[in-house]
A and B are shown apart, each in its own frame.
Chain A
C-alpha cells in the first residue's frame, strides 16, 4: 500500500517593528540580555498592554496579501500555561476572533504548475523570552533573557494541503520569499525570526480521509524540517505497516539522532483555558485602513515570476531564480530598462552575480546575501551587455572585465579604455594573422586542402597572441581570406 504524507504548517514570523507588540521596548536583535525590558513585557503586576499599531498593520498587510477574509472585529485572548520564558504565565494571542481567516499562498511547483496552499487562520500574538542552558554537569538551573518576550509574532496556520516533502520544501521557501517581498519580517531563521512547526499524518494514496496527525516542535531550519519529514515518513510508515495506530501527540525533534520523540504526558497536558484578555479592547477593522494597505501591496513572487516569463521570454526556471528575492528581480528589471536584452542580462546575473553571492553566503540557513551585497550595480551590468552587443568588446573580454568591475568598482567603459581592451581592428590584426599562419604551415595547408575544422587552431592561436582582443566574428573571415579559401 503506497502511503502519502498530509502536511500542514504553523508558521511563526516575528514582525519587523521598531517596538514590541504591547510596550515600547526595542525589538533590536543582539542587545545585551535583559535590557530591552519593562514592566509590561516582564509581566509585572499592574502593567497594562497597549497594541502597537505598526504590528497590527503588518499583520493585516500579511492577511490581505494572503487573500484572507478579514472579520470586522478582532479580539485578543489569554493562552494560559506555565513556562519560565513566559513571565505573565499567559501568552496574549487570538483564539477565535482572528485577524484573518481563509485565504491561500500560491506556490510555484515548476512543471507541476502553481498550487494554492490554503490558510486556516492568521493571528497576532507575542513571542516568549529565551532560555539559556549553561554548560556543565553540575548545573541544575537555566538562565533567562526577556529581551524577546513581547516581540510581535504572527502565526499563520495552513490547511493540511501539502502532499510531499518536495511540496513542503517549496512551501517553506515560498513563504519566506513572500514575507520578505511584503517586507513584514526579516525572516532570519538563524535568529529565530521565522519558525516552522510541522503537522503530519500518513494515509493510503488516493484516500480522502485523514490519518491521525502528530505535531512536531523544535525545528529550527528548513533543512531540519525536511529531515523531520523523512524521519516521520519512516516512523509512521513502520507503525502503520505493522497494523499499529498513530497516537495524536506533540513530538520534539532530536537533531542528534535525527528522530522525533514523544513529549512526556505532563508536558502535553495542554489545556490553555483561553479567555478574552480584559486588558485589551476590541479592534474594529476599518475599511479605509484596509484600502490603504491594499494600495501598497507589492507584486508578489509567483505573479512576478509569471510576468517575467511572459514579458521577457525567460524560462520558468530562470524567472523563478530571478524572482525568488525581490532585490534580484528589481536589479534585473533596472538593468533591462537600461539595455533591452533580457536574456543576456538574466544569464549574466545568474552565471556571475548569483554565483558570486552563493560562494559568499552561509548556505540555506546562514546569513542570506542579497544582490544588494554584490559590488557591481545594475547600470554597470547593462553597460557591459551593451558594449558586448554593440561589438565594442568580445565575450572573452567581457568575462575578463567582470572580476575587474567587482574589484575596482569601475564601469566597464572606463576599464576598457584604461586597460586597452577594445578589439583590434583588421589593420592591427593583419600582421598577427600573417605571423600565426607562417608559424603553423601544416595547419594552414590542412585548411587550404579543405579541412575546414582546422581553422579553429589558427583562431585560437591569434586569440592567445592578442589576449582575447580579436573579435571571433571578423577574425575567421580574415584568416580565410589570407589563406585564399571561402
Chain B
C-alpha cells in the first residue's frame, strides 16, 4: 500500500502533529515501506478465522465494584507541565 503525502498529512492532523513538507515526504516513503513489509501477511489464507484482538486465552477478567482511594491532588498534578490551583492547565478549549 502506498502511503501518500496527503494521507500522512491527514493522519498528522488527526494526531495534532505539525510536519514540514520534507517530513511528509520522508514519512510517506518510510511508512510505505513498513506497510509493504506487513502486507506479506496478506498471503496467508485466513478465510474462516475469527478476528482476534489479542493472543491471550483469558476471558471475562473483572474487578469488583469497590472503591480504591485515588491519588492525592498534589501527586496527581505533580507531573503536569502546567497547573493552576487544584487543576491541570491546558490550552483554551472552546
User: Are B65 and A284 closer than 8 Å at their CB atoms?
Assistant: no
Residue A116, interface by CB 8 Å: no
Given A32-B73, A142-B90, A142-B92, also A271-B10 (CB < 8 A): yes
Residue A454, interface by CB 8 Å: no
User: Are A34 and B90 closer than 8 Å at their CB atoms?
Assistant: no
Which A residues have a C-beta under 8 Å from some C-beta of B? 17-19, 23-26, 32-39, 42, 50-56, 75, 80-85, 131-133, 139-146, 266, 269, 271, 273, 276-278, 280-284, 286
Looking at the assembled complex, report how far the CB atom of A202 sits from the nearest CB atom of chain B, in whole angstroms.
29
Tell me which of A37, A80, A141, A144 contacts B71 (CB under 8 A). A37
Given A34-B87, A35-B76, A269-B14, also A142-B60 (CB < 8 A): no
Residue B62, interface by CB 8 Å: yes
User: Are B59 and A281 closer than 8 Å at their CB atoms?
Assistant: yes
Across the interface, which residues of B come within 8 angstroms of A141, CB to CB?
A: 82, 84, 89-92
Looking at the assembled complex, report how far the CB atom of B67 sits from the nearest CB atom of chain A, in whole angstroms.
5
CA distance A453 to B10 in the complex (A): 88
Across the interface, which residues of A come within 8 angstroms of B84, CB to CB?
A: 141, 143
CA distance A140 to B73 in the complex (A): 24
User: Are B53 and A276 closer than 8 Å at their CB atoms?
Assistant: yes
User: Are A273 and B14 closer than 8 Å at their CB atoms?
Assistant: yes
User: Are B67 and A24 closer than 8 Å at their CB atoms?
Assistant: yes
Q: Mark B47-74, 1 if CB is under 8 A from A, else 0.
A: 0000101101011111111111011110
Tell me which of B14, B60, B64, B89 contacts A143 (CB under 8 A). B89
User: Are B53 and A32 closer than 8 Å at their CB atoms?
Assistant: no
User: Are B59 and A143 closer than 8 Å at their CB atoms?
Assistant: no
Given A37-B71, A273-B14, A283-B59, also A84-B90 (CB < 8 A): yes
Looking at the assembled complex, report how far the CB atom of B3 sits from the nearest CB atom of chain A, in whole angstroms.
14
CA distance A146 to B75 in the complex (A): 13
Give the residue name and chain of the A residue nearest to B84 (CB): A143
Tell me which of B13, B56, B73 contacts A281 (CB under 8 A). B56
User: Are B54 and A281 closer than 8 Å at their CB atoms?
Assistant: yes
User: Are A83 and B93 closer than 8 Å at their CB atoms?
Assistant: yes
CA distance A36 to B89 in the complex (A): 18
CA distance A168 to B88 in the complex (A): 38
6 more contacts with CB within 8 A, not counting A80-B14, A83-B93, are A19-B66, A38-B68, A52-B62, A131-B93, A143-B84, A266-B13
Residue B86, interface by CB 8 Å: yes
Give the residue name and chain of the A residue nearest to B75 (CB): A37
User: Are A278 and B53 closer than 8 Å at their CB atoms?
Assistant: yes
Tell me which of A23, A56, A80 contacts B62 (CB under 8 A). A56
User: Are B13 and A269 closer than 8 Å at their CB atoms?
Assistant: yes
- The residues in B between 7 and 58 inclusive whose CB is less than 8 angstroms from any CB of A are 10, 13-16, 51, 53-54, 56, 58
User: Are B62 and A50 closer than 8 Å at their CB atoms?
Assistant: yes
User: Are B67 and A25 closer than 8 Å at their CB atoms?
Assistant: yes
CA distance A178 to B71 in the complex (A): 36
Across the interface, which residues of B come within 8 angstroms of A51, CB to CB?
A: 61-63
Across the interface, which residues of B come within 8 angstroms of A39, CB to CB?
A: 71
Given A25-B67, A34-B73, A143-B84, also A75-B61 (CB < 8 A): no
User: Are A36 and B70 closer than 8 Å at their CB atoms?
Assistant: yes
User: Are A145 and B59 closer than 8 Å at their CB atoms?
Assistant: no
CA distance A84 to B65 in the complex (A): 27
User: Are B54 and A33 closer than 8 Å at their CB atoms?
Assistant: no
Across the interface, which residues of B come within 8 angstroms of A82, CB to CB?
A: 14-16
Across the interface, which residues of B come within 8 angstroms of A132, CB to CB?
A: 87
Given A84-B93, A269-B13, also A144-B61 (CB < 8 A): no
CA distance A133 to B94 in the complex (A): 9
CA distance A140 to B89 in the complex (A): 10
Across the interface, which residues of A come within 8 angstroms of B76, CB to CB?
A: 34-35, 37, 42, 146
User: Are B70 and A35 closer than 8 Å at their CB atoms?
Assistant: yes
CA distance A206 to B31 in the complex (A): 52
Given A34-B76, A271-B10, also A145-B65 (CB < 8 A): no
CA distance A123 to B2 in the complex (A): 35
CA distance A269 to B13 in the complex (A): 9
Looking at the assembled complex, report how far the CB atom of B16 sits from the nearest CB atom of chain A, in whole angstroms.
5
User: Are A142 and B91 closer than 8 Å at their CB atoms?
Assistant: yes
Looking at the assembled complex, report how far the CB atom of A371 sits from the nearest CB atom of chain B, in whole angstroms.
28
User: Are A33 and B86 closer than 8 Å at their CB atoms?
Assistant: yes
User: Are A24 and B54 closer than 8 Å at their CB atoms?
Assistant: no
CA distance A23 to B64 in the complex (A): 10
User: Are A54 and B92 closer than 8 Å at their CB atoms?
Assistant: no
User: Are A24 and B68 closer than 8 Å at their CB atoms?
Assistant: yes
Looking at the assembled complex, report how far the CB atom of A15 sits from the nearest CB atom of chain B, in whole angstroms.
10
User: Are B86 and A32 closer than 8 Å at their CB atoms?
Assistant: yes
6 contacts between A and B (CB under 8 A): A25-B70, A38-B68, A132-B87, A141-B91, A142-B92, A276-B51
User: Are B59 and A284 closer than 8 Å at their CB atoms?
Assistant: yes
Across the interface, which residues of A come within 8 angstroms of B89, CB to CB?
A: 141-144
Looking at the assembled complex, report how far the CB atom of B7 sits from the nearest CB atom of chain A, in whole angstroms.
11
Q: Which of A142, A277, A283 has the most chain B CB atoms closer than 10 A to its own CB?
A: A142
Looking at the assembled complex, report how far the CB atom of B79 sits from the nearest CB atom of chain A, in whole angstroms.
8
CA distance A48 to B87 in the complex (A): 24
Looking at the assembled complex, report how far the CB atom of A24 sits from the nearest CB atom of chain B, in whole angstroms.
3
